[in-house]
């Protein structure tokens, strides 16, 4: 018996348009016209305000080679990935300028990175420790490659990254290692996802860039030829880019936006182009509906009332600002609604997720509505390959 | 160029043992001996204390046909699934007694459910509304099947489920519909995952069962022949089973347990049999390490300090009770450690996740260590098929 389709099992894209009637909730629907508008907006705004700054979008938001190629066609110089599996999927699709903004630690990872270089991909990798650089240097020798690296700088998020105070000493040690070549520095400050999120995005972007310019100057003074100064997330990119000396920005979420970005004023809710659709499966009380999505299909990492913005619930229900997705179990979304609201069992609703990056990560497939209204099923090719 | 292996792309199990050196973090490792002990413990304890109560484990925890079959071989009477896709995967693997504890709403879902019945699977489905029952009745007529149904009873979780006050009237309406046959009632009270978690599991289990016995009596008095009274989650199952009249329990997490269950005293940390392994990729400060797992590979739905137990961090690092996974981004885990702790970049650590069900859901594959120490890669067959 086979109840699982070949497409589901082998995770391949649909080649012909699919019947809208075949869609079953919960599913992510991507509005391609809106998505292209978001791509266009970031690309052209950046060109207008800071023509010297290049765009290297982070593809961890969508994990789809099709969309990465649209970002490149619109003017991006390359892409950013969070991990090797994403880079491998993108390289297999023909994308050949990739920055992995994460320390690559471990023999097998470095072997895989070397394989990408050997295949002709321009791969830039992240370093934030001497040990990490030494591992790269050893792998370079074993696999006969040279790694282009960027040093990650700590600018306030307290995760990976070397501090301003330590960076020059570290860079000088790294510069003595063979097989690696420092060409830049990068940071992720994360205005919205920061430990203490800020709503003053202009100030956050400027602060981030100012630190980086200072670090680059110190490194150059020490004899390290820093070419690339790479900064910025979706909320801060356009602000961070306006500081002289910055060469590149790496926003990711802007391709779809999400409720968190809208809450921070980065976009309007109407700009959000990837929606989760769900079905009302129960209305056990006049003020409560239950929808067929929970923490296994709608990301729970950005929880309600976790920061000063007090996002109400786990997502915004399109067309009903009063509805609050108060709680989620794995497959249940508990939504408080106005008792007089006319929700019926079987009705479908669409939700703007709090965080689209982690929501897409829960789905094998997304559904794409193109400008002609035709629907396609796309395999989220880089999803689930966790390492 | 192909950087993605056939196994990764087509999501198939490894047939031969794999090399432990080939494992790359983050990955979930299942200790099979410990898992079998957990299966055995639940099965035999239940048989000892309540021999008349059958076990129908919830497979949403693991989503693996291999483990579902072990649960059946150990004495389970059938399985519980959260959604049709899980039931389809399990049926395709030969499992033929399945309860889906979730309202099936929508024509396509009901068509798929009918297909399972037509293939000879004993499929029991959940109903908590007249509209849901009417949809089932219509589908039964179209597809020439009869649906065996259980009414879901609300016992305090305020999600799906009909209240004690309304259940008799609803059941009498449903009993007039053709093509459906009420054979039981079920509930999920969720002692641990409840809105207001309780640590008095015995009281929670008894309360749950007492309500259900009362509901069954009222329904029988009204002429509805209730055979099955199905209750219980991992924390409450053994308590709920000891009430006379209960016929079935449906725990899920007990197969692996997790940190949340240990915190509630349901198991010891040492019983947890599915661990997430991660690599230390950075130690930017003496009291902070960064690990290569975040909300895309370690579930973030059970967040620190969300209830009275105040779980510290997103998981327990095995062997270091002082380490706290304070924050997570998508690929970064920020861990506070004792400054004198000897963590080095490249070291691997293992983590007992707060919630194993949603963690497994993030991985295409898990790795299984059998009793001989051999390693296998198993495709999480029902993962990612969200509807």
Asked if residue B1 has pLDDT above 50, the reply is: no
Return the residue of B nearest to A364 by Cα: B384
Asked if residue B351 has pLDDT above 60, the reply is: yes
Return the residue of B nearest to A300 by Cα: B301
Distance from CA of A216 to the nearest CA of B (A): 19
**What is the structure's pLDDT at B308?**
57
- Mean pLDDT confidence for B273-288: 97
3-state secondary structure of A304: coil
- Mean pLDDT confidence for B183-194: 84
Taking Cα atoms as reference points, which of B107, B22, B57, B66 lies closest to residue B233?
B57
Question: Using a CB-CB distance cutoff of 8 angstroms, which residues of chain A are in contact with residue B92?
Answer: 1-4
Query: CB-based contact (8 Å) between A111 and chain B?
Result: no
Q: What tens digit of pLDDT does each residue of B106-144 get?
A: 999 999 999 999 999 999 999 999 999 999 999 999 999
Query: For residue B328, what pLDDT band results from cuts at 50, 70 and 90?
Result: very high
- Mean pLDDT confidence for B356-371: 96
CB contact under 8 A, B303 and A303: yes
Same domain membership, residue A220 and residue A77: yes
CB-nearest partner of A284 from B128, B296, B383: B128
Are B278 and B349 spatial neighbours (Cβ–Cβ below 8 Å)? yes
Identify the CATH number of the domain in which residue B275 sits: 2.40.37.20
**What is the structure's pLDDT at A299?**
96
**What is the structure's pLDDT at B190?**
77
Question: Using a CB-CB distance cutoff of 8 angstroms, which residues of chain A are in contact with residue B2?
Answer: 92
Return the residue of A nearest to B134 by Cα: A345
- Mean pLDDT confidence for B88-92: 95
CB contact under 8 A, A112 and B27: no
Distance from CA of A48 to the nearest CA of B (A): 31
Upper half-sphere CA count for residue B166 (Cβ side, 13 Å):
15
- Rg of chain B, C-alpha, whole Å: 22
**What is the structure's pLDDT at A303?**
87
Per-residue pLDDT of chain A (387 residues; tens, 9 = 90+): 456 555 555 567 877 899 999 999 999 999 999 999 999 999 999 999 999 999 999 999 999 999 999 999 999 999 999 999 999 999 999 999 999 999 999 999 999 999 999 999 999 999 999 999 999 999 999 999 999 999 999 999 999 999 999 999 999 999 999 999 999 999 998 766 666 677 788 988 999 999 999 999 999 999 999 999 999 999 999 999 999 999 999 999 999 999 999 998 999 999 999 999 999 999 999 999 999 999 999 999 988 876 656 788 999 999 999 999 999 999 999 999 999 999 999 999 999 999 999 999 999 999 999 999 999 999 998 887 767
Same domain membership, residue B55 and residue B137: yes
* DSSP 8-state symbol, B42: H
Identify the CATH number of the domain in which residue A213 sits: 3.20.20.10
Same domain membership, residue B156 and residue B88: yes
Same domain membership, residue A124 and residue A153: yes
3-state secondary structure of B296: coil
Residue at a domain's end among B207, B230, B255? B255
Rounded distance, CA A117 to CA B134, Å? 60
Same domain membership, residue B40 and residue B26: no
Question: Using a CB-CB distance cutoff of 8 angstroms, which residues of chain A are in contact with residue B83?
Answer: 292, 331
The distance of Cα B259 from the centroid of its chain, to the nearest Å, equals: 14
Return the residue of B nearest to A3 by Cα: B88
Rounded distance, CA A347 to CA A279, Å? 6
Domain membership of residue A385 (yes or no) is no
CB-nearest partner of A384 from B3, B299, B364: B364
Alpha helices, DSSP H, located in chain B: 6-10, 32-49, 65-73, 84-92, 107-118, 130-143, 164-175, 201-221, 237-241, 259-263, 356-360
Residue at a domain's end among B255, B281, B311? B255
Are A352 and A320 spatial neighbours (Cβ–Cβ below 8 Å)? no
Taking Cα atoms as reference points, which of A141, A115, A113, A134 lies closest to residue A125?
A113
State how beta strands B333-336 and A180-186 pair: unpaired
Distance from CA of B261 to the nearest CA of A (A): 16
Domain membership of residue B261 (yes or no) is no
Query: CB-based contact (8 Å) between B181 and chain A?
Result: no
Rounded distance, CA A295 to CA A276, Å? 12
Preceding omega of A26 cis (within 30 degrees of 0) = yes
Domain membership of residue A1 (yes or no) is no
Query: CB-based contact (8 Å) between B102 and chain A?
Result: yes
CB pairs under 8 A between A and B: 231
- Mean pLDDT confidence for B148-166: 96
Asked if residue B75 has pLDDT above 60, the reply is: yes
Query: CB-based contact (8 Å) between A385 and chain B?
Result: yes
Rounded distance, CA A175 to CA A160, Å? 20
CA-to-CA separations, B26 to A105, A176, B79, B208, B366, in angstroms, rounded? 12, 31, 29, 38, 10
**What is the structure's pLDDT at A309?**
65
Return the residue of A nearest to B81 by Cα: A331
Query: CB-based contact (8 Å) between B336 and chain A?
Result: no
Residue at a domain's end among B225, B255, B285? B255
Rounded distance, CA B18 to CA A79, Å? 33
CB-nearest partner of A105 from B128, B281, B386: B281
CB contact under 8 A, B3 and A112: yes
**What is the structure's pLDDT at B264?**
87
First to last CA, chain A: 33
Are A273 and A256 spatial neighbours (Cβ–Cβ below 8 Å)? yes
Are B292 and B279 spatial neighbours (Cβ–Cβ below 8 Å)? yes
Same domain membership, residue B241 and residue B148: yes
* Binding-face residues of B in 265-294 toward A, CB within 8 A: 279-284, 288, 290, 292
Domain membership of residue B7 (yes or no) is no
Query: CB-based contact (8 Å) between A27 and chain B?
Result: yes
Same domain membership, residue B72 and residue B109: yes
Taking Cα atoms as reference points, which of A250, A277, A289, A261 lies closest to residue A363?
A277
Return the residue of A nearest to B90 by Cα: A3
**What is the structure's pLDDT at B307?**
60
CB contact under 8 A, B290 and A160: yes
Query: CB-based contact (8 Å) between A63 and chain B?
Result: no
Query: CB-based contact (8 Å) between A4 and chain B?
Result: yes
**What is the structure's pLDDT at A198?**
75
**What is the structure's pLDDT at A10?**
57
Distance from CA of B48 to the nearest CA of A (A): 31
Same domain membership, residue A24 and residue A52: no
CB contact under 8 A, B387 and A163: no
Domain membership of residue B387 (yes or no) is no
CB-nearest partner of A92 from B1, B10, B282: B1
Question: Using a CB-CB distance cutoff of 8 angstroms, which residues of chain A are in contact with residue B193?
Answer: 329
Query: CB-based contact (8 Å) between A360 and chain B?
Result: no
CB contact under 8 A, B297 and A386: yes
CB contact under 8 A, B105 and A195: no
Same domain membership, residue A271 and residue A229: no
Structural domain count, chain A: 2
Domain membership of residue B177 (yes or no) is yes
Mean pLDDT for chain B overall? 93
Question: Using a CB-CB distance cutoff of 8 angstroms, which residues of chain B are in contact with residue A344?
Answer: 131
CB contact under 8 A, A109 and B24: yes
CB contact under 8 A, B92 and A2: yes
CA-to-CA separations, B103 to A315, A380, B231, B306, B365, in angstroms, rounded? 22, 28, 17, 28, 29
* Binding-face residues of B in 223-252 toward A, CB within 8 A: none
Same domain membership, residue B101 and residue B145: yes
Distance from CA of A236 to the nearest CA of B (A): 17
Return the residue of B nearest to A82 by Cα: B331
- For helices A164-175 and A201-221, give the axis angle rounded to 10 degrees: 40
Return the residue of B nearest to A282 by Cα: B160
* Binding-face residues of B in 187-216 toward A, CB within 8 A: 190, 193, 195
Same domain membership, residue B55 and residue B112: yes
Residue-range definition of the domain harbouring residue B288: 13-30+266-379
Distance from CA of A118 to the nearest CA of B (A): 11
- For helices A107-118 and A130-143, give the axis angle rounded to 10 degrees: 50
Query: CB-based contact (8 Å) between A138 and chain B?
Result: no
- Please name the residues in contact with B354: beta carbons below 8 A apart, sequence gap of 6 or more: B258, B259, B260, B299, B302, B303, B311, B314, B315
Query: CB-based contact (8 Å) between A334 and chain B?
Result: yes
CB-nearest partner of A4 from B89, B283, B297: B89
Same domain membership, residue B294 and residue B243: no
**What is the structure's pLDDT at B5?**
56
Query: CB-based contact (8 Å) between A347 and chain B?
Result: no
Domain membership of residue A260 (yes or no) is no
**What is the structure's pLDDT at B282?**
98
Are B61 and B299 spatial neighbours (Cβ–Cβ below 8 Å)? no
Taking Cα atoms as reference points, which of A163, A161, A151 lies closest to residue A228?
A151
Domain membership of residue A261 (yes or no) is no
Mutation for testing the B interface, residue in A154, A288, A330 having most B CBs under 10 Å: A330
Query: CB-based contact (8 Å) between A83 and chain B?
Result: yes
CB contact under 8 A, A24 and B383: no
Query: CB-based contact (8 Å) between B387 and chain A?
Result: yes
Rounded distance, CA B202 to CA B235, Å? 9
Asked if residue B383 has pLDDT above 60, the reply is: yes
């Amino acid at each position: 018996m086979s109840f699982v389709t070949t497409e589901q099992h082998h995770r391949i894209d649909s080649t012909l348009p699919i019947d809208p009637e075949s869609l079953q909730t919960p599913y992510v629907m991507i509005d391609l016209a809106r998505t292209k508008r978001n791509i266009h907006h970031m690309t052209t705004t950046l060109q207008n305000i800071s023509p010297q700054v290049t765009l290297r979008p982070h593809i961890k938001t969508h994990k789809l080679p099709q969309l990465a190629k649209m970002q490149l066609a619109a003017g991006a110089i390359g892409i950013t990935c969070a991990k090797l599996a994403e880079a491998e999927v993108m390289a297999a699709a023909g994308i050949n300028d990739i920055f992995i903004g994460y320390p690559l630690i471990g023999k097998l990872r470095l072997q895989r990175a070397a394989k990408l270089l050997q295949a002709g991909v321009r791969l830039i990798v992240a370093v934030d420790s001497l040990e990490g650089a030494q591992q790269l240097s050893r792998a370079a020798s074993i696999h006969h490659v040279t790694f282009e690296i960027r040093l990650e700088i700590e600018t306030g998020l307290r995760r990976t990254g070397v501090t301003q105070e330590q960076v020059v000493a570290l860079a000088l040690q790294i510069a003595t290692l063979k097989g690696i070549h420092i060409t830049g520095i990068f940071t992720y400050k994360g205005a919205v996802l920061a430990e203490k999120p800020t709503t003053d995005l202009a100030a956050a972007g400027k602060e981030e860039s100012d630190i980086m310019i200072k670090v680059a100057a110190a490194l150059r003074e020490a004899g390290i030829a820093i070419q690339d100064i790479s900064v910025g997330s979706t909320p801060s990119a356009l602000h961070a880019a306006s500081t002289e000396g910055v060469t590149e920005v790496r926003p990711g979420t802007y391709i779809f936006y999400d409720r968190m970005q809208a809450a921070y004023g980065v976009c309007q809710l109407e700009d959000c182009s990837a929606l989760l659709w769900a079905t009302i499966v129960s209305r056990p009380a006049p003020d409560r509906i239950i929808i067929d999505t929970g923490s296994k299909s709608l990301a729970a990492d950005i929880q309600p009332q976790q920061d000063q913005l007090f996002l109400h619930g786990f997502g915004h229900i399109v067309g009903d600002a009063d509805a609050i997705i108060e709680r989620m179990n794995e497959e249940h979304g508990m939504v408080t609604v106005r008792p007089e609201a006319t929700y019926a069992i079987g009705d479908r609703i669409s939700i703007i997720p709090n965080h689209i990056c982690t929501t897409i990560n829960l789905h094998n497939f997304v559904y794409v509505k193109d400008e002609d209204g035709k629907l396609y099923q796309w395999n989220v090719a880089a999803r689930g390959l966790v390492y």
